[in-house]
Amino acid sequence: MAITDLPLTPFTSSSVTAVGHARQLQFDAPGPPSFPALADFHPAVRTWFTRSFPLGPTPPQEHAWPSIAAGNDTLVAAPTGSGKTLSAFLVSIDQLYKRHDAGTLMANTAQVVYVSPLKALAVDISENL
């Protein structure tokens, strides 16, 4: 990250004249993925995931993502809290970003439908995703 001082153009109103400096923050593009399982994800998704989960993906996520991304019906059987739901959601969010970048994301239409098997899981997803 680089920080640069930029001069501001003078601002004048009927009673105030101000001039000063602003700071511009410049962020470098995300580097290569920290985890190979994230290599095919959109940079924004990859960055969010690595910041949110610095220890990386769980084994169920690593194994499920390629199948889900390929459009296959995928059953993930793993213990509670192992990231099964995020396995599907992360691929869906990734596809939304990629469609947006490609200009193929349709506005004002449902893009992802999720039917929760448990009310508690629905609440958790609503609050955390």
Mean pLDDT by 10 residues, the chain (129 residues): 46 44 55 79 94 93 95 92 90 94 89 78 74
In a domain, 19, yes or no: no
In a domain, 13, yes or no: no
- What is the domain count for the chain? 1
Which structural domain, as residue segments, surrounds residue 79? 33-128
In a domain, 72, yes or no: yes
Distant-in-sequence, close-in-space partners of 3: CB < 8 Å, separation ≥ 6? 23, 24, 25, 26
In a domain, 84, yes or no: yes
The verdict on pTM exceeding 0.95 is no
In a domain, 68, yes or no: yes
Count other C-beta atoms under 10 Å from residue 84's C-beta: 19
In a domain, 98, yes or no: yes
In a domain, 10, yes or no: no
For the record, the structure tokens of 65 come out as 């993502």
Count other C-beta atoms under 10 Å from residue 61's C-beta: 25
In a domain, 14, yes or no: no
Q: For position 2, what pLDDT does the model report?
A: 45
